[in-house]
Structure 1
Amino acid sequence: MPTILLLIASNCFMTTAWYWHLKGGMSKPLFVVVLISWGIALFEYCLAVPANRIGFAAGWSGGQLKVTQEVITLVVFGVFMVTVLGEPLGWRHLGAFLCLVGAAAFLFVGVSHPA
């Protein structure tokens, strides 16, 4: 569970670092946006690295960690896309999410260690 919580928190920072400037920040010079984004991403790394170490120590494979992170990323971005960017969710977003959940399921099926 700490792995999942840390990955969720890190993805909130990552999504913000990558996309915050699309709403209201497009007039800022690119180098300023990059510097601000690097500052935000620092917090993402401070959470993602421990999440992956904890998960790996608990028996998760690298593939399981990565696919889980991608599923979380899509959920976090979906919320960001709707709430910050004001873009609607559509059937294609649901389809992409279901494909990633399916990918995660394939990596976890038959695994005996705790998720």
Structure 2
Amino acid sequence: MDNDIYGHVNNVVYYSWFDTAVNGYLIEQGALDIHHGAVIGLVIETQCNYFESLAFPDTIHAGLRVGHLGRSSVRYEVGLFSASGELTAAAGHFVHVYVDRQTRRPVPLPPALREALAALC
């Protein structure tokens, strides 16, 4: 997304980058089928701290780790970095609760998902 009227990427885009980093990793690991999987993650909490503005056309890199791995929930922690900067431009987290796609009730993390997430702890 291009820069907003203030000359930087709007704050809501950072949350989109968080989501892309997490889901991209899980899909890449074969741990998440966003179209047909029986289990999906619902975001129940988000937060972001902004330290520097990010602006198009910078290339943005995301660092990802798991801060907490529960029975049916995960706290993802994400750092965003500009390719032209030396420090974290933004850091935040979001929490997914994994639920049955049909009932939307929490379920234990499937083994493949737990294994992919454990690698980020």
TM-score (norm 2): 0.28
Which of the two has greater strand per residue?
2
TM-score (norm 1): 0.29
Of structures 1 and 2, the one scoring higher in RCO (CA 8 A, sep 6+) is 1
Which of the two has greater helix per residue?
1
